[in-house]
């Protein structure tokens, strides 16, 4: 049973921060109630920060990074799962406070896990990953606020990013008219292939603007924050809705209450980390019916654990487009 387990391990001694591919023993794994063979994980922006040490993501050392994973249960003392079950995990501080998915095995709390929907394969689940899951939570939030396809333009910011590109695709699958805001206007064709009808330069939104602007968007999904989110609030139609699910431009929100009290707009926060289990199951079930396999193959590349550290560097240098899926058994 005690075969060596390959894992990416981050250590910090004094000021020496390092990430290495190591061989662990099963006894090294954390003391949690469920053990799984990790089939796939991914390389998210947060994982890139953790592996390269370019951001203060990791809270305790040593740490196995990887904020999402899919795998097969090998042992569990929970009534919810049995050996052989396929499970998914997003969030809950995994890869930051708790050992994560960039390893051949993981020991996890069963409360963090949900069943893999029958309609998608383990690899497809990680091609979707936290980016697709966060985008789906945003789309569901717009639907729950009553936003319908014939209401008008839906703006998606950070359109070339993981969450933004997935949001465009999901909204388009559901029949919405999507406007994509991007800093890479040269990639407009790619965004139109995803389903965007209009492309605008992010500079139209990223500078300080008036507190109340011309009504344009029925709703928006924003992964950027700061002035961009403030300008979106100011440009929403009467009763419009924007979901906030990222802070690529900044954590600040230099906005005015004017759109809220004069146009009745709503700002909905999207948390994808500590989400209740019912919400997670709903989002993944929706994803399993909406997302097509050919789209997932087009937006993702597959690597092995041996290639994670090198790819994390490339991710931080902006050299990778789309999703990076890690085959943890390969």
Q: Decide if 27 is inside a domain.
A: yes
How crowded is residue 77: how many other Cβ atoms within 10 Å of its Cβ? 9
162 closest CA partner among 20, 328, 322: 322
**Structure tokens belonging to residue 176:** 């919405």
Verify that 231 and 144 share a domain, yes or no.
yes
Q: Decide if 133 is inside a domain.
A: yes
pLDDT in tens, 255-293: 999 999 999 999 999 999 999 999 999 999 999 999 999
Verify that 111 and 137 share a domain, yes or no.
no
Verify that 160 and 195 share a domain, yes or no.
yes
pLDDT in tens, 206-254: 999 999 999 999 999 999 999 999 999 999 999 999 999 998 899 999 9
Helix, strand, or coil (residue 196): strand
As to burial, measured by CB atoms within 10 angstroms (0-12 exposed, 13-18 middle, 19+ buried), residue 285 is: middle
pLDDT in tens, 7-62: 999 999 888 899 999 999 999 999 999 999 999 999 998 899 999 999 889 999 99
In angstroms, rounded to a whole number, what is the distance separating the alpha carbons of residues 39 and 70?
6
**Residues belonging to the chain:** 330
Verify that 139 and 109 share a domain, yes or no.
no
Number of H helices, E strands in the chain: 10, 15
Q: Decide if 287 is inside a domain.
A: no
* Predicted model pTM: 0.93
Verify that 216 and 257 share a domain, yes or no.
yes
Residue 318 pLDDT exceeds 80: no
Please state the rounded mean pLDDT for residues 125-138. 96
Verify that 114 and 19 share a domain, yes or no.
yes
Count of alpha carbons within 13 angstroms of residue 129, beta-carbon side = 29
Helix, strand, or coil (residue 325): strand
**Structure tokens belonging to residue 115:** 């069943």
Instruction: Give the domain CATH number at 93.
Output: 3.90.180.10
Could you give the number of structural domains in the chain?
2
Look at residue 299 in the predicted model and tell me its pLDDT. Answer: 86
Verify that 78 and 102 share a domain, yes or no.
yes
Give the domain extent around 304: 5-120+293-327
């Amino acid at each position: 049973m005690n075969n060596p387990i390959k894992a990416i391990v981050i250590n910090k001694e004094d000021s020496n921060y390092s990430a290495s591919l190591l061989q662990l023993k099963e006894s090294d794994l954390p003391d949690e109630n469920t053990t799984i063979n990790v089939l796939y994980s991914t390389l998210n922006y947060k994982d890139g920060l953790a592996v390269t040490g370019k951001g203060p993501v990791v809270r305790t050392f040593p740490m196995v990074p990887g904020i999402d994973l899919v795998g097969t249960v090998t042992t569990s003392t929970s009534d919810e799962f049995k050996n052989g079950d396929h499970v998914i995990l997003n969030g809950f501080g995994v890869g930051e406070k708790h050992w994560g998915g960039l390893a051949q095995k993981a020991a996890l709390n069963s409360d963090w896990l949900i069943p893999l929907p029958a309609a998608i394969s383990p690899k497809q689940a990680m091609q979707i990953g936290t980016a697709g899951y966060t985008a789906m939570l945003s789309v569901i939030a717009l639907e729950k606020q009553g936003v319908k396809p014939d209401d008008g333009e839906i703006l998606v910011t950070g359109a070339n990013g993981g969450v933004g590109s997935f949001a465009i695709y999901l909204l388009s699958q559901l029949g919405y008219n999507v406007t994509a805001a991007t800093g890479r206007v040269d990639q407009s064709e790619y965004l139109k292939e995803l389903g965007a009808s209009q492309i605008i330069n992010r500079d139209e939104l990223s500078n300080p603007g008036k507190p109340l602007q011309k009504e344009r968007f029925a709703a928006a999904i924003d992964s950027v924050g700061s002035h961009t989110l403030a300008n979106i609030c100011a440009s929403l139609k009467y009763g419009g809705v924007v979901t906030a699910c990222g802070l690529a431009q900044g954590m600040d929100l230099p906005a005015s209450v004017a759109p809220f009290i004069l146009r009745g707009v709503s700002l909905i926060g999207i948390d994808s980390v500590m989400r209740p289990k019912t919400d997670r199951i709903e989002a993944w079930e929706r994803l399993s019916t909406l997302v097509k396999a050919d789209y997932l193959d087009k937006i993702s590349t597959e690597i092995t654990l041996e290639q994670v550290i090198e790819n994390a560097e490339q991710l931080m240098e902006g050299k990778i487009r789309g999703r990076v899926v890690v085959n943890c058994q390969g």
